[in-house]
Amino acid sequence: GENVEQHPSTLSVQEGDSAVIKCTYSDSASNYFPWYKQELGKGPQLIIDIRSNVGEKKDQRIAVTLNKTAKHFSLHITETQPEDSAVYFCAVPVIGGSQGNLIFGKGTKLSVKP
Amino acid sequence: DADVTQTPRNRITKTGKRIMLECSQTKGHDRMYWYRQDPGLGLQLIYYSFDVKDINKGEISDGYSVSRQAQAKFSLSLESAIPNQTALYFCATSVGGEQFFGPGTRLTVL
């Protein structure tokens, strides 16, 4: 079945620096790659996603890049701010069977120091 | 008002007790999920339901059961709680691939 690995598990940056989180997946049929942000005391929330027909997608200070050949995708946050501090999860869809379900990475705790 | 609500938000119970966690949604989505979150382990799927008559086990269903009372309601039960079920539990709905999570229930089993 599908497997997703997320790195690093923790990331500390200075305010204004960039942060990059990477996920690798195993099933080459995967075609949808979302990133979720979980703030303290809340449930995860979708912040950006990409589909397999594009290589990069941007939304203000966040971007996701996809390398289908290498089977990895990354979240990029530029000009980090303290409110970016949270746990970030990547996910990939289950292929076949229970389509529509997601398999989540183990999360990256991002700390942005003022 | 929140689209996905969970009750209770916090619960402390003792080993062997029966516990029910409730989830309600106003999004009108057919698909609903229960996840468990432990530090460093991400989100693990317990059960999911694609509609009122369709309930399926996830990767860690042992020790848990669910009930889909209506399209809007999906409950998770621990028949006999044990300490290693201490965790943060999330309910979610989905449509078009995106999942919408509730605020979570923090459960402690002593």
- CB–CB of A96/A81 below 8 Å? no
- CB–CB of A64/A20 below 8 Å? no
Extract the residue ranges of chain B whose pLDDT is less than 50.
none
Chain B positions in Cβ-Cβ contact with residue A98 (cut-off 8 Å): 48, 56
- Whether the per-residue pLDDT at A52 is higher than 60: the answer is yes
Chain A positions in Cβ-Cβ contact with residue B48 (cut-off 8 Å): 98, 101
| Rounded Cα gap, residues B30 and B28, in angstroms | 7
User: Residue A41's closest chain B neighbor by CA?
Assistant: B103
Condensed to tens digits (0 to 9), the pLDDT of residues A59-108 reads 999 999 999 999 999 999 999 999 999 999 999 988 765 567 899 999 99
- The size of the A-B interface in CB pairs under 8 A is 48
| Rounded Cα gap, residues A101 and B3, in angstroms | 20
Q: Work out the minimum CA distance from B36 to partner chain A, whole angstroms.
A: 11
Q: Which pLDDT does position A36 carry in this prediction?
A: 98
Q: Which pLDDT does position B49 carry in this prediction?
A: 95
| Rounded Cα gap, residues B26 and A78, in angstroms | 35
